[in-house]
Amino acid sequence: MKPIFDESDPVELRLCVNGAVRTLCVPPLRRLLDVLREDLRLTGTKEGCGEGECGACTVLIDGQAVLACLTAACSAEGSEVVTIEGPGFERARREFLEHGAAQCGICTPGMIVMTRAWAEACRRDGIEPTEDGARAALAGNLCRCTGYGAIVAAAVSTAREGFP
């Protein structure tokens, strides 16, 4: 059961998702998570709690990591939304596989999206990617399977690309 219902009248919404412009007619406060998963059938973005506590629903809006379960779809209008299905995750995916960082996989899309946001922030701001940095960046993403060591190592390897 979902926690939030928006019973107001649908409005037209134009979203740019993974590089494609999509026009939808949805209630303005419908969760971005539901728009992605149900209206656009992009089910790679997961729901672990629906209230901002697990990070499984992390997506990028204009390069920033946001929780799609706490984001109203209408607030993403005019922005670039990128989900795990989108381009640009190749390196992170490879590192996650090589480090054994995906076990049950339910936290994995959120982890990979957050890793990319952190890696890009490191590059942009010239911050050396470290294990402590990765742990701080991923602190909002829960994983119950791995103990985090493999995930943190995969995130650091991903972010080190382009660093000497």
Partner 1 sequence: MERYIGRDLARPDGPAKVEGRAVYVADLDVPGAWVGGVVRSTVARGLLLGLDFDPGFDWRTVAVATAADVPGENVVALIADDQPLLVAREIEHWGEPLALVAAPDELQLARALAAVRPRIEARAACFDLERSPRVFKSIRVAQGDAGAVFRDVPPGARVVEGTYRTDSQEQLYVETQGFVAFPPASDGSVTVRGSLQCPHYVQKALARALGIAPEEARVVQLATGGGFGGKEDYPSVLACHAALLARVARRPVRLILGRHEDLAVTPKRHPARVRVRAAFAADGTGLALEADVLFDGGAYTTLSPVVLSRGVLHASGPYRWPAAEIRGSVVATNHVPYGAFRGFGAPQTCLAIERLMDRAARELGIHPFELRLRNALRPGDTTVTGQRLEHSVGSLEVLEAIARRTGFDRHAWGAPHAESGPRRRGLGFSFFFHGAGFTGSGEELLRGRVSLALLPDGRVEVLAGSTEIGQGTQALFTAIAAEALGADAADVVLATPDTARVPDSGPTVASRTCMVVGGVLAAAAAELRQRVGDGAASWRERARAFLAGGGDGAVTRAYAPPPGARWDEHSYRGDAYPVYGWAADVAEVFVDEDTGEVDVARLWTAVDVGRALQPRLVTGQIEGGALQAVGWAHREVVSARDGRCEQDRLATCIVPTTLDAPRFDVTLVEVPYPGGPFGAKGVGELPMDGGAPAVLSAIEDATGIHPAQVPATPERILDLLVARAEEAHA
* Contact positions vs partner 1 (CB under 8 A): 1-3, 5, 7, 37, 41-51, 53-54, 56, 83-85, 89, 92-93, 96-97, 100, 102-109, 112, 134-136, 138-152
Partner touching 69 among ligand FES, partner 1, none, CB below 5 to 8 Å by kind: ligand FES
Give the shortest CB-73-to-partner 1 separation in angstroms.
Answer: 16
47 vs 95, which CB is nearer to ligand FES?
Answer: 47
Question: Which residue has tokens 């007619």?
Answer: 25
Angle between helices 108-125 and 149-160 in degrees, nearest 10: 40
Considering only residues 124 to 153 of the shown chain, the ones binding ligand FES according to CB under 6 A are: 143-146
112 and 71 Cβ atoms separated by less than 8 Å: no
- Determine the Cα–Cα distance for residues 111 and 105; give it in Å rounded to an integer: 10
Q: Tell me the C-alpha to C-alpha distance, in Å, between residue 156 and each of 89, 94, 114, 124.
A: 14, 13, 12, 15
Which of 56, 112, 114, 150 touches ligand FES by CB under 6 A? 56
154 and 101 Cβ atoms separated by less than 8 Å: yes
111 and 57 Cβ atoms separated by less than 8 Å: no
Choose the binding region for ligand FES from 19-27, 36-44, 45-53, 127-135 (rule: CB under 6 A).
Answer: 45-53
Considering only residues 84 to 123 of the shown chain, the ones binding ligand FES according to CB under 6 A are: 102-108
| Residue 57 engages ligand FES in binding (rule: CB under 6 A) | yes
